């Protein structure tokens, strides 16, 4: 399928990615101008792949990137995984998370890392993707998956960005922040006001410092968790705009 983003023609397609546990459905979008483009692996939030994520992928493709959006819940069913309302409100969330939490809990670090290898391998093998490093970005739980992917594949991932992240810092042995010593990518974390405690921010900042990577960890004022997602009542236009203002320069500097 071809659309246009500004003056750029965009091609979009659905894909099936082989994984150790089966096949993950995915959405890919890229400039339809020939040649190759830097690769971006975009992990969705807990509500899964859906039109708002596909629109965000198209926005990135309009800036010259090949964007792959996998369905990390493929073991359950293809995307869209959940029957979501047109706009997700606070009143909708309890019932939705009753469906979602079992899938999140089943998506262990072991599964995440197994899938990450499949996704990175698939992305870098596409004929439209340029040689060289890729980026991983994610929203909510996807930010944790983006970080796990970047720390597991430091030779392939040059930029990682997470917005309104899930639990990057926990007391568990497999906490995502415990793998940061392996990180080589440039990092940006865009936080809602209550996403991380001051202690967690300090802990992850120390881990980035020890790894010697360039990073920024910024609280976006006036935002709540989920502020980039325009199909939810958490959406904040100023916060979303700031997220693009941080993300695009990060990708531009790391993937050129």
Q: Where are the domains of the chain?
A: 2-254
Question: What does the DSSP assignment read for the chain?
Answer: -EEEETTEEEEEEEEEEEETTEEEEEEEEEESSSS-B-EEEEE--TT-S-HHHHHHHHHHHTTT-EEEEE-TTTTT-SSS-S---SSB-TTTHHHHHHHHHHHHHHS-HHHHHHHHHHHHHHHHH-TTBPSS-EEEEEETHHHHHHHHHHHH-TTTEEEEEEES---SS-SSTT-GGGGGGG--SEEEEEE-TTSS-HHHHHHHHHHHHHHT--EEEEE-TT--TTTT-TTBTT--HHHHHHHHHHHHHHHHHH--
**pLDDT, mean over the chain:** 95
62, 6 contact by CB (below 8 A): yes
Give the catalytic positions in this structure: 140, 195, 225
Which tens digit of pLDDT belongs to each residue from 129-168?
999 999 999 999 999 999 999 999 999 999 999 999 999 9
CA distance 38 to 31: 11
pLDDT at 222 over 70: yes
At residue 5, the pLDDT reads 57
Q: Which residues of 209-235 are buried (b: 16+ CB within 10 A; e: fewer)?
A: eebebebebebbeebbbbbbbebbebb
The side-by-side arrangement of strands in the sheet containing 2-5 is: 2-5, 8-19, 22-31, 66-70, 39-43, 134-139, 157-163, 186-191, 215-219
pLDDT at 102 over 60: yes
At residue 132, the pLDDT reads 93
CA distance 13 to 86: 23
Strands 134-139 and 8-19: unpaired
Q: Count of residues for the chain?
A: 256
Which tens digit of pLDDT belongs to each residue from 2-29?
555 555 789 999 999 999 999 999 999 9
Homologous superfamily of 2-254:
Alpha/Beta hydrolase fold, catalytic domain (3.40.50.1820)
Which tens digit of pLDDT belongs to each residue from 225-256?
999 999 999 999 999 999 999 999 999 999 97
Residue 63: which pLDDT band, with cuts at 50, 70 and 90?
Answer: very high
CA distance 221 to 216: 15
Strands 8-19 and 2-5: antiparallel
What residues does 41 pair with on adjacent strands? Answer: 68, 136
């Amino acid at each position: 399928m071809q659309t246009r983003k500004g003056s750029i023609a965009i091609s979009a397609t659905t894909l099936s990615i082989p994984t150790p546990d089966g096949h993950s459905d995915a959405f890919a979008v890229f400039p339809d101008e020939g040649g190759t483009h830097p690769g971006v692996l975009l992990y969705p939030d807990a509500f899964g792949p859906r039109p708002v994520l596909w629109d965000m992928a198209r926005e990135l493709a309009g800036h010259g990137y090949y964007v792959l959006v996998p369905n990390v819940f493929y073991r359950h069913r293809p995307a869209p995984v959940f029957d979501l309302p047109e706009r997700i409100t606070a009143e909708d969330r309890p019932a939705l998370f009753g469906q979602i939490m079992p899938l999140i809990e089943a998506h262990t670090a072991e599964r995440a890392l197994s899938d990450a290898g499949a996704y990175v391998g698939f992305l870098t093998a596409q004929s439209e993707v340029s040689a060289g490093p890729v980026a991983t970005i994610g929203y909510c739980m996807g930010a944790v998956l983006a970080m796990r992917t970047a720390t597991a594949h430091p030779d392939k991932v040059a930029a990682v960005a997470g917005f309104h992240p899930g639990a990057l810092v926990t007391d568990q042995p497999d906490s995502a922040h415990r793998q940061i010593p392996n990180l080589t990518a440039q990092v940006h974390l865009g936080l809602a006001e209550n996403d991380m405690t001051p202690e967690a921010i300090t802990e992850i900042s120390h881990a980035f410092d020890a790894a010697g990577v360039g990073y920024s960890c910024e609280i976006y004022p006036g935002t709540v968790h989920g502020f980039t997602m325009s199909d939810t009542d958490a959406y904040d236009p100023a916060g979303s705009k700031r997220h693009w203002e941080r993300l695009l320069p990060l990708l531009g500097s790391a993937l050129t």
